[in-house]
Amino acid sequence: MTPEYLSAFPPGLGDVVGRALIEKDPDASLGRYDGSVIFFSSRLSPEQVQNLPFFQNAFLVLSRQQFSDTSNLPRIVESLFNNIDRESTLMARQIIRFFGWRSFRFRVSEEGELRPISPKQMNRLERVTSKSLGVQVNRSKPDFEIWFLIRRSGESYYGLRLTNDREKRERGELSREISYLLNFISQPKPQDVFLDPFAGSGAILLSRAKHFAYKEIIGMDIDPKGVEVAKRRLRKFPGTRVMRGDALQMKEIRGESVDVIVTDPPWGIFKKFKSDPRKFYYEMLREMRRVLRSKGRLVILTAARDEMEEAIENLEWLPNETFDILVSGRKAGVYYFIKP
């Protein structure tokens, strides 16, 4: 039996997630996905899926059904629960033993919102599951969770959540998932000299160092506090350096010396620009083009779409690919360039 999974990803990057998944498992079978959730089957083990850096949440699917009417939540929950087969139950037991989990709780989600079911139904489902999987109920601090996931389209799933201990994020920095996918879009190569001129506390740098081969990684930021944090986080990775510098005038970086830039410049939302934001983006893009080698790649994430697109028009440097995404609920764009 090939395991089936349901996973959430940063909204708007479904095509990129699909490519990243196929790179990890060329034999994976991708089902349909919407703006933020993908269903797939894969030979990857639950532990491997749990550790994929581009998923926000992942579930091992124990049963799934299509419903034409999603108004009767108790009936859907009951049907999904009763539809689990012997093989799925055995797989769930193996995972529970592997991770050493001893307690669980149920969650019912309808289009991303938690929903209650009757105490009578909940108690019965808990009692049957506890006996079947050999685990105890703990509604406050369980080792793992089993979810009923009901989608507006009628696609519904019953799955074991594969939890993941997330790395501690600095305040305001990009998520692990977005950092990874931005680097993936840049088509990383082992011989790359990599640069992030708006490195902040180093989320994008760290993702490149941990997950992709490189020749050299350079981080730069105008904020000395961010530079010190990034230096500390990159300390154990050879061939990395972080410095203080101005991304609009990168005097420390020779022209045509960088293979790839992946960066998240200021958006002007949380902190206002000190100068004209349109001029800022124009000078930023021009300076990045200067330091890139011929055929060098550039990936920029920003919510300052008007400023970015005006800079693109003025420099007559069109992106090869763009993505409309959401970052913490804000509309943003990802721009991928290749220098001629």
Whether the predicted model's global pTM rises above the 0.85 cut? yes
120 plus 184 within the same structural domain: no
Question: 52 is written with which tokens?
Answer: 């994929």
Q: Where are the alpha helices (DSSP H) in 5-67?
A: 14-24, 46-50
Output DSSP code: residue 268. S
Place of tokens 């998944």: 21
139 and 50 together in one domain: yes
The rounded distance, in Å, linking the Cα atoms of 48 and 132 is 25
- Give buried/exposed letters for 251-268 (b at 16+ CB in 10 A, else e): eebeeebbbbbbbbbbbe
Structure tokens at 245: 């510098």
For residues 30 and 24, give the distance between their C-alpha atoms in angstroms, rounded to a whole number: 13
Query: pLDDT value at position 166?
Result: 58
Q: Which of 283, 332, 288 is nearest to 306 (CA)?
A: 332
**Domain assignment of residue 183, yes or no:** yes
Tell me if residue 73 falls in helix, strand or coil. helix
**Looking at residue 158, what is its pLDDT?**
97
- Is residue 77 domain-shared with residue 188, that is, in the same domain? no
How many CB atoms are closer than 10 A to CB 249?
10
Question: Is the same domain home to 284 and 215?
Answer: yes
Sites in the chain below the pLDDT cut of 50: none
Task: Supply the pLDDT for residue 328.
Answer: 85
Same domain, 250 and 280: yes
Q: Which of 120, 136, 161 is the last residue of a domain?
A: 161
Give the domain range for residue 190: 176-338
The number of distinct structural domains making up the chain is: 2
Same domain, 196 and 116: no
Instruction: Tell whether 12 and 91 lie within a shared domain.
Output: yes
Q: What CATH number corresponds to the domain at position 26? A: 3.30.2130.30
Please indicate, yes or no, if residue 171 is contained in any of the structural domains. no
166 located within any domain = no
Q: Which residues contact 165 (CB under 8 A, 6 or more apart)?
A: none
pLDDT at residue 274, rounded to an integer: 75
